[in-house]
Amino acid sequence: MRHIVVSILYGHFLLRDAWCDAGDDRESYRDSEGHVAGASTYQIVVRAPADPRSVGLELRVWGGEPEPDRGSWDECRQLDLHCPTGELLVEQITAGAAAEVALPQDAGVYGVRVHRSGYGDAQTFLVDLWWQTPLPPDDDDEDFYGDLP
């Protein structure tokens, strides 16, 4: 479990694979309309209504799908995220990474459950993340690091 303070710029922050941010084309942002979060293949947009300066985030990584959190949450949404590198970033828009997380199960498709409570500067978020399956064969970028100079 990690507790992270995330600076909010432009009303949201991202959860994404450390290297694979290609092809989003604002798909995750559009998918988040009217929800706490939205996803594309490699990225999740997490919305923070009322554009607070910062929010608290509790990030929990599980070996399998956890039971739904029984806390008092205003919103919750479950999504999938592909992580070809096995490294997750909590990214602040225009301010870089608030946290880098090496996922213990390494590369794969992860389930992500995003919870939000509160409003404005009193918002808090809980993200549960768990490994679901290996990456699909057409998404398995075995030579990912080999392509880098």
Query: What does the pLDDT look like over 60-107, one tens digit per residue?
Result: 999 999 999 999 999 999 999 999 999 999 999 888 889 999 999 999
141 or 92: which leads in pLDDT: 92
Neighbours of 5 (CB within 10 A): 11
**pLDDT tens for each residue of 98-137:** 999 999 999 999 999 999 999 988 999 999 999 999 998 8
Q: State the pLDDT at residue 23.
A: 61
Q: Which amino acid is at 115?
A: H
- Whole-model pTM: value is 0.88
Buried b or exposed e, range 18-55, using 16+ CB within 10 angstroms: bbbeeebeeebbebbeebbbbbbbbbbbbbbbeebebb
Residue 105 falls in which region: left (phi positive, over 0), alpha (psi -120 to 50) or beta: alpha
Residue 144's pLDDT band, with cuts at 50, 70 and 90, is very low
Q: Which domains does the chain have, with CATH numbers?
A: 2-147 (2.60.34.30)
**What is the rounded CA–CA span in Å between residue 109 and residue 130?**
9
Q: DSSP letter string over 119-132? A: -GGG-EEEEEEEEE
**pLDDT tens for each residue of 21-53:** 656 778 899 999 999 999 999 999 999 998 899
User: Kind of pairing, strands 124-133 and 54-62?
Assistant: parallel
82 or 138: which leads in pLDDT: 82
Q: State the pLDDT at residue 58.
A: 96
**What is the rounded CA–CA span in Å between residue 91 and residue 77?**
19
